[in-house]
Amino acid sequence: MSILEVRNISHNFDKKSLAQLTDISFILEKGEILSLIGPSGTGKSTLLNIILGTLVADSGEVFFDDELIASPTYRNQEQLKHFAYVPQVSTLDFDKTIFENISSPLIGLEDEITITNSVRDMIEIFGLEYKDHKLPGDLSAGQRQRVEFAKAMVSGPKVLLLDEPFSNLDQFLKEEVISEVFPIFRERGLSVVFVSHNLDEAFSISDRAMVLAHGKVQQVAGPREVYANPSTVFVARFTGKINLLASNVLSAHGDETVVKNSLGEFHVTGKTAPEGKKFIYLAIRPENVQLGEKGQIAGRVKHIDYRGDRQFIHIATNDRNKFIVSRPGTEIYKLDQKLRVTIPVEHSFFLPI
């Protein structure tokens, strides 16, 4: 059941330039974590501000529990109390204690006993015991981030809007905090819209991911679906390395498509080529390309991109095609080494050119 619905939102800061958001629509289910991913400047933060009511869209509507809460001419401030926002920049007052920071959204709205109980609850679930009397400057970066989430959740919101809240943490701290706070969100039944530029971060915690580019929705699906079956070349490239073979569609009957490219003919079953397209890409991820002494295509190692636990082997074939192959970091390859590449069509998919 949906808790938040965005319908046909468009927005443009400068009327003379291209729109920053164009006809954005999506539904957030109750208890769902939805990540917004895409390059910088695609309108991810703008969209959060429109949902939150701090920015008015040029067109479109936002609904909470099937009730209109925002449009170009209407704003329901009462329903916005169900939303909490955690921005990239800290909202903590460094001259106030942790208790005072967490309690600040409740001041003037609740009695002292209710405030104390609510803050104590947040302090306990975020592991901030014995820190309530300290100032933010006395805490570690990870602890301060937990205070940010405690402050956002203390008023009991139903929807959390997170705008790259982990961007100022180092990788180790980021992974530690994420592994701690997102289970809390799920246990509390919160619905979350999470903006991130870090693909691994977004995929690891999301039920679904929405890819934005040029102010438009490119794809909305589960992380596995977005990665394994991207809808466009942009999504394929944004979500990971990809091998693309420009191909001619020879035939398409039922669940079998026959394509031809510089490597020969490929009979692909279970995948349908984009309707009406004569030219498409046959695409395959690097981890699905087979590499060895025997294979379909001869080539040489031109570059080795070593990443520790894995490595990307760049192969140039004799027919001037180039492939990226993902292999475990423990395997040893050498520049100019002769190898053969095999394309298992059962792991390939089609993309429009």
Is-contact 270 228, C-beta < 8 A? no
- Give the tokens for residue 107: 């001041």
For position 318, what pLDDT does the model report?
Answer: 79
b/e string for 325-345 if b means 16 or more Cβ within 10 A?
bbbeeeeeeeeeeebbbebeb
pTM score, two decimals? 0.91
CB atoms within 10 A of CB 127: 12
The rounded average pLDDT for each run of 10 residues, N- to C-terminus, in the chain (353 residues) is 96 69 97 95 92 93 96 91 94 97 94 94 94 95 95 97 92 92 96 93 96 95 96 96 94 86 87 79 95 86 96 90 95 95 92 91
Show the domains of the chain with their CATH numbers: 2-234 (3.40.50.300), 241-352 (2.40.50.140)
HSE, side-chain direction, 13 A CA sphere, residue 177: 23
Least Cα distance to 8 among 43, 53, 44, 57 occurs for 57
Least Cα distance to 196 among 184, 205, 207 occurs for 205
Phi and psi angles of residue 170, each rounded to the nearest 5 degrees, phi first: -70, 165
b/e string for 162-199 if b means 16 or more Cβ within 10 A?
bbbbbeebeeebbeebbebbbebbeeeebbbbbbbebb
Chain center to CA of 198: 7
Q: CA 41, CA 39: separation in Å to the nearest integer? A: 6
